[in-house]
Amino acid sequence: MSEEKSLNFIEEIISQDLASGKHASILTRFPPEPNGYLHIGHAKSICLNFGLAKRFGGATNLRFDDTNPTKEETEYVDSIKADVKWLGFDWVKECYASDYFDQLYAFAIQLIEKGLAYVDDSTAEQIAIQKGTPTVPGTGNEFRNRSIKENKTLFEAMKAGEFEDGAKVLRAKIDFASPNMHMRDPLLYRIKKAHHHRTGDAWCIYPMYDFAHGQSDSIEHITHSVCTLEFIPHRALYDWCIEQLGIFPSHQYEFARLNMTYTIMSKRKLLQLVQEEQVQSWDDPRMPTISGMRRRGYTPESIRDFCERIGIAKRENIIDFSLLEFCVREHLNKIAQRRMVVTNPVKLVITNYDKGEEVLHSENNPEDPEGGVRDVPFSNELWIERADFMEEPTKKYFRLGPDLMVRLKSAYIIKCDSFEKDAAGNVQTIHASYFPESKSGSDTSGLHVKGTLHWVSAKHAVPVILNEYDRLFSVEDVAGAEGDFKDYINPNSLTTTNAWAEPALINDSLDARFQFIRKGYFYQDTSSTKDKLVFNRTVTLKDAWAKEQKK
């Protein structure tokens, strides 16, 4: 018997609702506002909502919460759809709150007729003052006593465009003494003479979140409406609207949103980074956006795995970025094609190699026996990493140095005989001799070495550009840090370098995943072309040597 994975608290509720017959099947929804690009926090919500439906045999709607025309754009709608699809999920219906504007308007009229909503002429400031404070009850005002007839006439006039923005609002008549601020006569509709990305200029009044979200859930017969913790105080109002309107009783459940170390999860701040050109775009590979992560080389599988591992609960959390990195490494290790790329090159001459050149073979993925091999040209002049040579090797240094031996990956064991420096004192050329009988795959030399280096043949190498990324911010808890979050931007979050690559990369497919041996996982950037290959580093390899060096 394998142990079943325990249910999170929402799965617990659903399984009880199904068992008790409260619902025959479930319907969830993912309800983004199209005012920005989706980020990894949304991925958590997407995996939750679609995952719930998948697990319990239900379905999920994609619904755009587009009730604020001044912030929303079609560009965002398109990117959101692309991101959800890329993550591997399909919605049963594509919905828009704006599709319900007529229905929502009718609901408002219904409330007015029940004496539960009124038109208020107060200014925003007056309304704020009259609301009181969390510890002091609100007062309300004379507009609260308007007749049903007058309210209806006024609301119709609002819809007809007879008033300017801000001149009037529609409010629910609930309770100014409520300890829940959201129940102190919340706003239902406001006037905004703005162009909507879908309804154009058909409307000049738009419903507030609280008068759109729950009703949209209800109209679609959403059984379990899952949102984040900050909406807990809204639930009373959510339920109030549904009850007063007598419509399908959707229920809201709340879980803690995702926070991660060294990054931010606020759409507003993300937008700021884009607008102020701290990053290049929404899909800059340093961004925690789904599109940024895609461009950087993260796989949908690894993001889904991550969302599975972080779990769902109600307590605030901040997840180590290293968990995400673990997830992507774990997947990429299994699927990435191995290639050799040298970034900071130094010339290695094999003095006793007189064959000129030969073609060697190297496995594409040691994790995958079926992965096959590729041709790798070898010659007497190679590029190796400068960091792989030390004039005066320290203890535990397994690489090259005077009289030291290493294996060249998939080639031969070599021994360093001498080296030359330039005028500035930098090592310029390393001379070595090779052992012909140590050839990979048919090694009869009996030699054993601790280090294996990657290399490229100098005359066969092709130039590539590497974008190597570091964390976007220099502190763990960016949102919790004092002052402006932009003060913590890591100035070295992007390093672009020129490198030499083995020629196989030229013919590799555009969306292939690579591991550049001993360097990390890389993915071709959207700007990459055959003439100018550009790779983004998705994530480094674990580096035990770097840790050792710090000691």
Judge contact between 344 and 386, C-beta under 8 A. yes
C-alpha–C-alpha distance, residues 356 and 477, integer Å: 56
Helical segments of 233-276, H only: 235-245, 267-275
Q: Is 513 a catalytic residue?
A: no
Closest distance of CB 80 from RNA, Å? 12
Residue 451 as a binder of RNA (CB under 7 A): the answer is yes
Q: Of 13, 92, 109, 256, which lies in the binding site for RNA, with binding defined by CB under 7 A?
A: 256
Of 159 and 407, the one with the shorter C-beta distance to RNA is 407
Residue 426 as a binder of RNA (CB under 7 A): the answer is no
Q: Interface residues for RNA in 469-508 (CB under 7 A)?
A: 480
Number of other residues whose CB lies within 10 A of the CB of residue 509: 7
Residue 8 as a binder of RNA (CB under 7 A): the answer is yes
* 3-class DSSP state of 236: helix
Contact window for RNA (CB under 7 A) among 49-57, 159-167, 270-278, 524-532:
159-167
Q: Interface residues for RNA in 52-71 (CB under 7 A)?
A: 65, 67-68, 71
Of 189 and 419, the one with the shorter C-beta distance to RNA is 189
Q: Interface residues for RNA in 86-145 (CB under 7 A)?
A: 122-124, 127-128, 131, 133-135
Residue 146 as a binder of RNA (CB under 7 A): the answer is no
Main-chain phi, psi angles of 95, to 5 degrees: -120, 160
Residue 366 as a binder of RNA (CB under 7 A): the answer is yes
- Of 453, 302, 295, 474, nearest in space to 388 by CA: 453
User: Of the listed 33, 150, 308, 357, which one is catalytic?
Assistant: 33
Residue 322 as a binder of RNA (CB under 7 A): the answer is yes
User: Of the listed 257, 386, 415, 471, which one is catalytic?
Assistant: 257
Tokens representing 178? 């409520």
Rounded to a whole number of angstroms, the CA Rg of the chain reads: 31
Closest distance of CB 349 from RNA, Å? 20
Per-residue contact flags (x/-) with RNA for residues 16 to 35, judged by CB under 7 A? -----------------x--
Of 192 and 347, the one with the shorter C-beta distance to RNA is 192
DSSP letters, 157-226, are HHHTT-S-TTS-EEEE---TT-SSGGGSS-EEEEE----BTTTBTS-SEEE-GGGTHHHHHHHTT-SEEE
Judge contact between 48 and 255, C-beta under 8 A. yes
Report in angstroms the alpha-carbon separations of 327 from 292, 309, 420.
Answer: 17, 9, 43
Residue 192 as a binder of RNA (CB under 7 A): the answer is yes
Residue 234 as a binder of RNA (CB under 7 A): the answer is yes
Q: Is 267 a catalytic residue?
A: yes
Report in angstroms the alpha-carbon separations of 539 from 121, 143, 286, 323, 407.
Answer: 56, 60, 11, 12, 25
Closest distance of CB 527 from RNA, Å? 26
Closest distance of CB 479 from RNA, Å? 9
C-alpha–C-alpha distance, residues 295 and 467, integer Å: 12
Q: Is 257 a catalytic residue?
A: yes
Active site members: 33, 257, 267
